[in-house]
Chains A and B, each alone.
Chain A
Amino acid sequence: MQIPTVEELAAQLQAVSGADEVHPDASIQNIADVDSLDLMEWLYNFQNEYPGIPADESLFKDIDETTTMRTVHARLEALASETTAV
């Protein structure tokens, strides 16, 4: 199943949050103007766009300093491949 590139995911979060910049490798927790509700809004949009990928709030359950949009992208790829395998 095709999912957006990591750059597209970062751009989507930037649009939702209104942050000046969301770099794919920036620690999400340290991006000014991005908080957990922005992540949920981004996730809601993603769920609508990709209903076949079982992404939910657990995507950010263990978020820490090391979590970036590249991390999120990798998790989504794993979810997509699990879904395809089934």
Chain B
Amino acid sequence: MSGFKITGWGAAVPEQVVTSAELATRFGVDEDWVVSRCGIRERRVVEPGQTTASLAVTAGERALAVAGLTGADVAHLIVATATPEQPSPATSAFVHHGLGIAGSAHDVNAECSGFVYSMVSAAALMRIDPRPILVIGSDTHSLTVDPADRDLGILVGDGAAALVLEPTDRDWLQAWNLGADGSCTDSLKVLAGGSRMPTTGATVAAGLHFAKINGNEIYLNAVRFSVRSVRATLEQAKVQPEQVAHIVPHQANIRIVNSMLSHTGLDPQRLVSNLDRYGNTASASIPLALSEALDAGRIRDGELVLLAGFGAGMTWGSVLLEWGGTTR
């Protein structure tokens, strides 16, 4: 039975920057209102030709380079996304081809919790097949938002980030928690385009292919479920909040993050956040923040790193890693 270690990481964001000042002008509000509402000053947005898969391929290439591997070394590719390349086939198929992956490939859609779900899935896979796994989170939610929708428009950004997991006897995974509550499907949704409401001219005309958010419900549920998940993970690991050296939450909204920190007793000084520069990049947000922290040399062996996500559905999940691994 093998654990995993993280040997590579990489991120890819579009070059096009959309500032909160620009959005404030578009929506007829103050820039301060936008920033105080969500903590986002700018976000990256794809341009024509950039897609969920193209960002994922770039992030994957960078992560593999850091690990000193190629696609031929990868036994399994997992792509977390809620904004697929196209309805079929899976986004991972496009990424698989782009990276020259030798092994299997599949998508995970747990919305903004997708990367944490993918990490836990990869950990399980590693135990039965201890070979390199590439996990990528990639989303282009700017393409799913109604240009007139202020509530979602100020939040979303596009991006991708990847981690390479390799087998080790010194398992880095200390504890995990995943959950879902399917009674909350109305909080954040895209109504049309699936089997329940296939796309027609009428659905497009009605804007039903755009995402819709109930911000209050999302706030309340995101705080409730992420707090519950973090507590469960720390309890499972027998770790106190003050022992966590780095907290990498889903970068959704700084007020949700702050609330989660305050209700779990985690130290705000240990927060890893790039929300102000990228906005909510959904499945990419956790690995994107983690990649930046690693590039900056912030994370050292022996430190505990907590990843915590929540997303539409609702879904939630958290993972506690001990950097460098442990034999316990």
Contacts and interface: CB of A to CB of B under 8 A. Distances in A.
Nearest to B217: A57
Contact of A43 (B220, B255, B263): B220
A44 B259 contact: yes
Contacts of A56: 220
A44 B224 contact: yes
B219 A40 contact: yes
B269 interface: no
Contacts of B263: 44
Nearest to A40: B219
A36 interface: yes
Interface in B195-227: 215-217, 219-220, 223-224
A44 B223 contact: yes
B26 interface: no
B127 interface: no
SS class of chain B's interface: helix, strand, loop or mixed? helix
B230 to A, nearest CB: 15
Contacts of B217: 57
Given A37-B37, A44-B259, A60 B224 contact: no
Contacts of A36: 215-216, 219
A31 to B, nearest CB: 15
A6 B218 CA distance: 27
Interface in A22-50: 35-37, 39-41, 43-44, 47
A37 B220 CA distance: 9
Contacts of B215: 36-37
A56 B219 CA distance: 12
A63 B213 CA distance: 18
Contacts of B216: 36-37, 39-40, 57, 60
Nearest to B33: A35
Contacts of A57: 216-217, 220
Interface string B213-247: 00111011001100000000000000000000000
Contacts of A60: 216
Nearest to A43: B220
A75 to B, nearest CB: 16
B220 A40 contact: yes
Interface string A46-86: 01000000001100100000000000000000000000000
A41 B37 contact: no
A37 B217 CA distance: 10
Given A40-B216, A44-B259, A35 B37 contact: yes
Contacts of B37: 35, 37
Contacts of B253: 37
Query: Among A43, A44, A47, which residue has the most Cβ atoms of chain B within 10 A?
Result: A44
A36 to B, nearest CB: 5
A44 B217 CA distance: 11
A47 B37 CA distance: 23
13 contacts: A35-B37, A37-B37, A37-B219, A39-B216, A40-B216, A40-B219, A40-B220, A41-B223, A44-B223, A44-B263, A56-B220, A57-B216, A57-B220
Given A35-B37, A44-B263, A57-B216, 16 more contacts: A36-B216, A37-B216, A37-B219, A37-B253, A37-B255, A39-B216, A40-B216, A40-B219, A40-B220, A40-B223, A44-B223, A44-B224, A47-B224, A56-B220, A57-B217, A60-B216
Interface of A: 35-37, 39-41, 43-44, 47, 56-57, 60
